[in-house]
Amino acid sequence: MSESQVALTQESLDGARGAGAGTHVPAPVSRKARRPRASWRERLEITLLAGPAIVVFVAFVIVPVVMAVYYGFYRWTGDGPPTDWVGLQNYKLIFQDPVFFSAVKHSFAIVGLSLVIQGPLAVGLALLLNRKIRGRSIIRVLVFAPWVVSEVVAGMGWNEMLQADGALNHMLTGLHIFGTVSIDWIGDSHVAIWTLMMVLTWKYLGFAIILMMAGLQNIPEELFEAARVDGASYWQAQRYVTVPLLGPTIRIWAFLSIIGSLQLFDLVWVIWGSTSSQVAGTSTMAMYMRDNGLGSGTWGYGSAVAVVLFGISLVVAVAYQRFVLRRDLSGAITEGA
């Protein structure tokens, strides 16, 4: 039972008791309800239970964000304290750097392509796997397995397979359909972004499918029965019952996918690395930040990049919550906004 429910019940009981005794005195309208004061014991408990989490959050989230803003105003190599104040010069350099805009462009392309490719695939496969078919459990495990594999391990495996004389080209050649296949999956800038999307879809589709399947479980069977009685075909039932009722799940998945795509680093880093990703057109915002901070020893500039990326991610996340997730989160984080 929640705290508010307890309070309500107590109030009802008091009201009933008062009315029965004929001694109920209505409280003044303007008087605010006063919360009972927490005892020292409760305060201690709150402090000890929330303390570690607050310390960790402040130390590893709040302080670094504030420090990044501070360092971003300096030209600083990380040796000794920052002393060379440059104001907004680092930010000016960021917005003059075509490599930064390439990275931003790639990140947003990955966001869009992930939604367009993985979304329909996930819904379709979830519908398929939700039906009673032979080997359904094994297929579910196989689809979900890549999501469990660590990004670095997956990246190293794909890197080996995608080499010019790697397993993928050998396999395609072995099919005897395309002749001798010698595609430069990693280096060819016309191919590389699609290679990345292939790997990302393989890696993260399983998670999307699991979410969709969980969403499907929540749709009452009676609605499909009613649709069938009304003469709806299977596809009409999916179009007018499943998809609308799966909406909240799709919107939450899309939110997670957008955030994940904006933060994408490890798979690209392992398969392409810093230099090749820029040459092949798969560099991301997170990689630009790494290259220009840790990778270049220019900590002031790198911090400014981190602040810009923080801003971009924040704007996207807040806008999405405000305009897309609002209906799903109504009464939770959007209340009073």
Partner 1 sequence: MSLISRKVRRAATAVGAVSLLLSAAACSNNNSSDAHTLTMWTNVSPGPGLDYLNNTIKTFESQHSGYTIKLKTMADTDLDGALQTAMQGGASTAPDIYLQRGGGKLKAQVQAGQVADISGSLSAQAKQDIVASSYGPEQVDGKTYAVPVAIQPGGFFYSKNLFKQAGITSVPTTVAQLEAADAKLKGKGITPIAVGAKDGWPAAHWYYWFALRDCSQGVLNSTAQSLKFTDACWTKAGDDLKAFIATNPWEKGYIGIGQQGAGSSAALMANHKASMELMGGWDPGVIAGLTPNKKPLPDLSFFPMVQVPGGKGSPTATMGGVDAYSCSKWAPSVCTDFLNLLATTAQQTAYSKAFQTVPANTQSQKTVTDPLLKAETASVAKAPYVSFWLDSLYGQNVGTALNTSVVNLFTGKGTVADIISTVNAAGAKG
Question: Any idea what DSSP says for residue 164?
Answer: T
Shorter beta-carbon distance to partner 1: residue 111 or 186: 186
Shorter beta-carbon distance to partner 1: residue 78 or 248: 78
Shorter beta-carbon distance to partner 1: residue 93 or 316: 93
Distance CA 119, CA 198 (A): 14
Give min distance, CB of 306 to partner 1, in A: 14
Give min distance, CB of 44 to partner 1, in A: 8
Shorter beta-carbon distance to partner 1: residue 264 or 291: 291
Binding site for partner 1 (CB under 8 A): 44-45, 48-52, 55-56, 59, 75-81, 90, 93, 97, 99, 159-160, 162-165, 182, 184-187, 189, 271-276, 278-280, 291-292, 294-301
Q: Specify whether the CB–CB gap between 200 and 110 falls below 8 A.
A: yes
Question: Any idea what DSSP says for residue 263?
Answer: T
**Could you tell me where the DSSP H helices lie in the chain?**
3-21, 40-57, 63-71, 89-94, 98-130, 136-148, 151-161, 167-174, 192-217, 221-229, 234-237, 243-262, 266-271, 273-280, 285-292, 299-323, 326-329
Give min distance, CB of 162 to partner 1, in A: 7
> What one-letter code names the amino acid at 234?
Y
Distance CA 333, CA 311 (A): 20
Give min distance, CB of 159 to partner 1, in A: 7
First to last CA, the chain: 27
Shorter beta-carbon distance to partner 1: residue 76 or 204: 76
Give min distance, CB of 80 to partner 1, in A: 3
Q: Is 274 exposed, middle or buried (0-12, 13-18, 19+ CB in 10 A)?
A: middle
Give min distance, CB of 290 to partner 1, in A: 10
Shorter beta-carbon distance to partner 1: residue 77 or 263: 77
